[in-house]
C-alpha cells in the first residue's frame, strides 16, 4: 500500500489531540497525522481555515474531538463517517458521470478540497482512474484548461517574470520539494503546442507519482514555464490563460530557462527536475545543457524506467548526483 496513505494508531493520535488540544496557542493535531512520515502533522488553523485547506480537510471524517478542538463543530455535517464511506460516495458520483473529461474535472475539484480523500480514491481504483487523471483524458484537459481551470495546483513562470523568478519561488509555501515536473507546453502528447494549458500534464504526472510511487503530495511541484505559444487558436482566444505572444526562441529561450533553473535549484537544491513534453529541439538542447549540472532528466527522451533501473553495468563509479537520481527513479517507476 502507498506508504503515504498508511495509517497510524488513532489511539496515540487522539491522545495527543486531547493532551494539546486545550491549549489555544498550540498547534492542533490534524488529519495529516496519517499522512506525514513522522505520523503527526500540525497546524495553527481553526474554523473555516481547516475546512478550506485541502491538505488537512477531512470533510465528514472529522471526529467529535477534532471538531471541538479545531472549532469546526457546526461547520461540517453532524455525521462522523469513516474514510471508506467517503470513498463510496465519490465512486458512486464518478460512476454517474459519463464523459471522461467530466470525471477528470470532478476528481480535480475533489483534489481542491480534500487531498487525502482524492488519493485514497485514486489508490484504491488506480487502474480505472489513471487514464482519467493522466493519459488519454489529460490531453483533452489541456485543450480546455481555460474553461475548466478552478484553482492553482502549481506554479507558472512566464516571460512577464524575467528577472524575478528567484524571488517568485518563495511564493510557494513548501520548504522541501522532492520532485518538480515542468513543461513549456511545446509538444503536449500528440496535440502539439498548447502553451500554458499544458499545466495539466505536470499535475497529472505528479498525481500518479503520489498514488503509485508513494511520494508525499506536499513535496511535489507542477510547473509550467510560459514562453508564449505559436498556436493561433490560443493566441486568438481571450480566455486563454497564458501569455498572448509568440514563443521565445534561440538564445532568448535558453536564457529564460537558465534563470528558471537557477531559481528553482537555489530554492530547492535537492529536488529532482523532470522535463516533460517540451518541443523536440528544445528537449534535447536542455537535457544536454543541464544533465551534468543538475539532478534532472527528460521523461520523453530517456524514459523514467531507465532512470529507475540501478546501473550495475556502468564501468565507472557513480557520482553523488547519479546516486540521488537513481534513488528518485526507483521511487517513481512503480507508477508508470
Per DSSP, 249 falls in state -
The residue from 205, 218, 240, 294 that is catalytic is: 205
Report the 10 Å Cβ neighbour count for 152: 10
Yes or no: say if 32 and 56 are a contact pair by the CB < 8 Å rule: yes
The residue from 134, 209, 240, 294 that is catalytic is: 134
Whether residue 205 lies in the annotated active site: yes
Whether residue 290 lies in the annotated active site: no
Q: Which residues are catalytic?
A: 134, 205
Amino acid at each position: 500500500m502507498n506508504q503515504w496513505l498508511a495509517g497510524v494508531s488513532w489511539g496515540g493520535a487522539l491522545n495527543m489531540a486531547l493532551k494539546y488540544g486545550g491549549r489555544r496557542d498550540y498547534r492542533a493535531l490534524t488529519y495529516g497525522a496519517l499522512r506525514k512520515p513522522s505520523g503527526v502533522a500540525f497546524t495553527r488553523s481553526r474554523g473555516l481555515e481547516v475546512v478550506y485547506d485541502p491538505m488537512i480537510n477531512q470533510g465528514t471524517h472529522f471526529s467529535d474531538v477534532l471538531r471541538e478542538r479545531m472549532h469546526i463543530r457546526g461547520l461540517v455535517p453532524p455525521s462522523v463517517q469513516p474514510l471508506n464511506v467517503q470513498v463510496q460516495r465519490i465512486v458512486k458520483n464518478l460512476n454517474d458521470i459519463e464523459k471522461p473529461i467530466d470525471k477528470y474535472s470532478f476528481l480535480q475539484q475533489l483534489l481542491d478540497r480534500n487531498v487525502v480523500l482524492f488519493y485514497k480514491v485514486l489508490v484504491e481504483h488506480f487502474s480505472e482512474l489513471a487514464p482519467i487523471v493522466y493519459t488519454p483524458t489529460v490531453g483533452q484537459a489541456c485543450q480546455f484548461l481555460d474553461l475548466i481551470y478552478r484553482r492553482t495546483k502549481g506554479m507558472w513562470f512566464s516571460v512577464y517574470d524575467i528577472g524575478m523568478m528567484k524571488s517568485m519561488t518563495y511564493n510557494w509555501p513548501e520548504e522541501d520539494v522532492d520532485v518538480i515536473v515542468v513543461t513549456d507546453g511545446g509538444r503536449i502528447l500528440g496535440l502539439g503546442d498548447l502553451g500554458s494549458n499544458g499545466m495539466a500534464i505536470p499535475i497529472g504526472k505528479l498525481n500518479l507519482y503520489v498514488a503509485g510511487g508513494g511520494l508525499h503530495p506536499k513535496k511535489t511541484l507542477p510547473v509550467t514555464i510560459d514562453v508564449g505559444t505559436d498556436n493561433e487558436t490560443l493566441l486568438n482566444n481571450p480566455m486563454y490563460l497564458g501569455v498572448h505572444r509568440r514563443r521565445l526562441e534561440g538564445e532568448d529561450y535558453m536564457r529564460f530557462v537558465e534563470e528558471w533553473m537557477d531559481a528553482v535549484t537555489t530554492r530547492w537544491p535537492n529536488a529532482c527536475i523532470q522535463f516533460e513534453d517540451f518541443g523536440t529541439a528544445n528537449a534535447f538542447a536542455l537535457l544536454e545543457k543541464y544533465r551534468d549540472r543538475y539532478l534532472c532528466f527528460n521523461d520523453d527522451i530517456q524514459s523514467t524506467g531507465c532512470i529507475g533501473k540501478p546501473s550495475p553495468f556502468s564501468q565507472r563509479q557513480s557520482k553523488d548526483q547519479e546516486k540521488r537520481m537513481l534513488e528518485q527513479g526507483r521511487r517513481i517507476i512503480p507508477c508508470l
